[in-house]
Copies of this chain bind each other. A is one copy, B any other.
Amino acid sequence: MVELEVIADGAVLVGDDGMIRAVGPYRELRRRGGRARVEPVEGVLFPGFVDAHTHALFGAPRLAEHELRSQGADYQAIAAAGGGILSSARDVRSRSRPDLAKLAQTRLRALLASGTTTVEIKSGYGLSVQSELDQLAAIGALRSPPSVIATFLGAHEVPPEFRSRPEEYVDLVVDEMLPAVAQQGVARFCDVFCEPGVFTVEQSRRILGAAREHGLALKLHADEIDGSGGAELAAELGATSADHLAAISPAGIAALGQSSVVAVLLPGTMLFLGKTARAPARQLIAAGAAVALATDFNPGSSPGVSLPLMAMLGVSQMGLRPSEAVIAITVNGAAALQQAETRGQIAPGFRADLVLAAMEDWRELPYWYGVNLVQRVWVGGAACHLRGLPVNFAG
Contacts and interface: CB of A to CB of B under 8 A. Distances in A.
A38 interface: no
| Leading 5 A-B pairs by shortest Cβ distance | A306-B370, A309-B370, A360-B394, A304-B370, A63-B363
Interface in A294-325: 295, 303-306, 309-310, 312-313, 315-317, 319-322
Interface in A267-284: 268, 271-274, 276
User: A71, A110, A364, A394 — which one has the most chain B CB atoms within 10 A of its CB?
Assistant: A394
A130 interface: no
B319 A370 contact: no
Contacts of A273: 316
Contact of A367 (B61, B321, B364): B61
A340 to B, nearest CB: 24
Interface residues of A, number: 52
Interface of A: 42, 61, 63, 66-67, 70-72, 110, 114, 268, 271-274, 276, 295, 303-306, 309-310, 312-313, 315-317, 319-322, 358-361, 363-364, 366-373, 389-394
A274 B317 contact: yes
Given A67-B321, A273-B316, A305-B368, 10 more contacts: A63-B363, A271-B316, A274-B317, A304-B370, A309-B370, A358-B391, A360-B392, A361-B394, A371-B393, A373-B390
Nearest to A72: B319
A364 B63 contact: yes
Give the most central of A304, A316, A358: most B CB within 10 Å.
Answer: A316
A363 B391 CA distance: 16
B369 A303 contact: yes
14 contacts: A61-B364, A63-B361, A63-B367, A66-B322, A67-B322, A70-B315, A71-B319, A303-B367, A304-B369, A305-B371, A358-B393, A359-B393, A364-B394, A372-B372
